[in-house]
């Protein structure tokens, strides 16, 4: 995913979108002019944000995880292995089915229609390449031990199963878990992205 699906949301803050987790090497950014930084991680970005090399002196005020875990591919604590392997074979037809799976709950159809107007500017192949890249490096790295201040879990998540997210975060001792009556992509329930912080 890229920033395009989020462009419908308003924000009172500067936002840096980091995506494409094909390798664990993320671009560097100069944060020096910012006094307050909040890390909002979504889906596989929860894991990516935890392994990203940040400047030593960077003070992150809040870490928020949305519909992801620190074990991105796992039958109990992340995306089940067979489900992950199916998404590896995404093409232009199956990517539409995948996008439909992003939404759940009573506003699923409405939110899917909004998403279709703000599609990511990425091909199915680039998404597949990203998943294949993750498949290579995730098993080589230890599970990150980052702490989060708040975790959101969608009650109708068909991408990272709700049950697996609950398993992971409860095992991690997370107390501040907020359940959302949405599917995997909950953002269209908000007008301001800041409201989820």
Specify the pLDDT at position 27: 83
Non-local (6+) Cβ contacts of 98 within 8 A are 87, 90
Burial profile 97-124: b = 16 or more Cβ within 10 angstroms, e = fewer = ebbbbbbbeebbeebbeebeeeebebeb
Specify the pLDDT at position 125: 86
What does the DSSP 8-state code read for residue 25?
-
Model pTM greater than 0.75?
A: yes
Specify the pLDDT at position 58: 86
pLDDT along the chain (197 residues), means of 10: 95 92 88 91 95 86 97 96 86 86 94 96 88 92 94 97 98 97 97 93
146 in helix, strand or coil? coil
- Beta pairing partners, 153: 179
Does the CA dihedral 46-64-96-115 come out positive or negative?
negative
Question: How far apart are the C-alpha atoms of 181 and 39, rounded to whole Å?
Answer: 23
Specify the pLDDT at position 62: 96
What does the DSSP 8-state code read for residue 188?
G
Specify the pLDDT at position 123: 85
Specify the pLDDT at position 176: 97
Instruction: Look at residues 62, 57, 85, 64 and name the one whose alpha carbon lies nearest to residue 73.
Output: 85
Secondary-structure class of domain 4-196 per CATH: alpha beta
Residue extents of the structural domains in the chain: 4-196
């Amino acid at each position: 995913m890229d920033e395009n699906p989020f462009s419908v949301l308003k924000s009172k803050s500067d936002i840096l979108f980091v995506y494409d987790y094909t390798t664990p090497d993320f671009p560097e950014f100069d944060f020096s002019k910012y006094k307050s930084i909040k890390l909002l991680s979504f889906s596989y970005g929860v894991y990516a944000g935890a392994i990203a090399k940040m400047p030593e002196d960077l003070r992150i005020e809040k870490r928020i995880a949305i519909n992801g875990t620190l074990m991105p591919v796992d039958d109990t604590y992340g995306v089940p292995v067979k489900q992950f392997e199916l998404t590896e074979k995404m093409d232009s037809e199956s990517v539409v089915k995948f996008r439909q799976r992003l939404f759940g709950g009573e506003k699923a159809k409405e939110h899917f229609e909004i998403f279709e107007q703000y599609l990511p500017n990425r091909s199915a192949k680039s998404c597949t390449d990203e998943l294949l890249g993750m498949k290579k490096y995730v098993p080589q790295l230890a599970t990150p031990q980052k702490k989060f201040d708040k975790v959101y879990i969608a009650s109708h998540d068909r991408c990272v199963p709700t049950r697996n997210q609950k398993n992971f975060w409860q095992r991690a001792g997370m107390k501040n878990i907020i359940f959302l009556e949405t599917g995997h992509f909950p953002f269209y329930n908000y007008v301001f992205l800041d409201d989820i912080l």
